[in-house]
Amino acid sequence: MDGLDRTRGVRLRRSAVAALALSGMLAGCGLGEPKQTYEQAYEAMRPDAMAAMKEAWPGVEMEKDSADLEECGGLDMSADKNASKIEQSATYRGEVPAEDRRSIEELARAVGERLLERGWRNGSATRSPGKGDLEFAENMPGQVLLDMEKPGVHGWVAVEASVDSPKRHSVSLNLVTECLRNPEWKKY
């Protein structure tokens, strides 16, 4: 074996290691990913969010508007996603009674304040982190959005209040997990 053959072998090994590392990154190989499942994250947020919503908006009939499980596993760069990871969300919507004269800002803050009392914080690591007092992620004419996160939980709650007409406001609460491990996914 001469020097040229040894150099070629080293290059081949380096290429193989680089290809393996790249495929691991593209596949989202699990390095540094949370151990929390999408179900655990959702169930860690739901009781606080539901209680805060009921306390902050008494008299508002909230209905579950949607509930989704979105497959988000597989290659990060691929459009083909599988169920190895799931993002779970649920949205609750309601109309504020006409006798409730609070502004949309006050309606959203009421839920945020109750979540703060339960140890939550304003903003989200993956969204718009707030500092100090409750800070709206969006504050447009006729609509406000407040993001809240629970420390140690990979997900967030989005509280929205909007003006439907001068005397009618609507509110919604959306619970969303990050793209997290699905414990039911087949392991081979």
Mean pLDDT of the 168-174 span? 95
Instruction: State phi, psi for 105 to the nearest 5 degrees.
Output: -65, -45
pLDDT digits (tens, 9 = 90+) for 58-100: 999 999 999 999 999 887 666 788 889 999 999 999 999 989 9
Q: How confident is the model at residue 12 (pLDDT cuts 50, 70, 90)?
A: low
DSSP string, 43-80: HHHHHHHHHHHHHHSTT---EEEEEEEEEEES-TT-S-
User: Looking at per-residue confidence, does 139 or 10 come out higher?
Assistant: 139
Smallest CA-to-CA distance from 121 within 83, 162, 174, 157 is with: 157
Residue closest to 150 by CA, chosen among 180, 175, 171, 181: 175
**Model confidence band, residue 15 (pLDDT cutoffs 50, 70, 90):** low
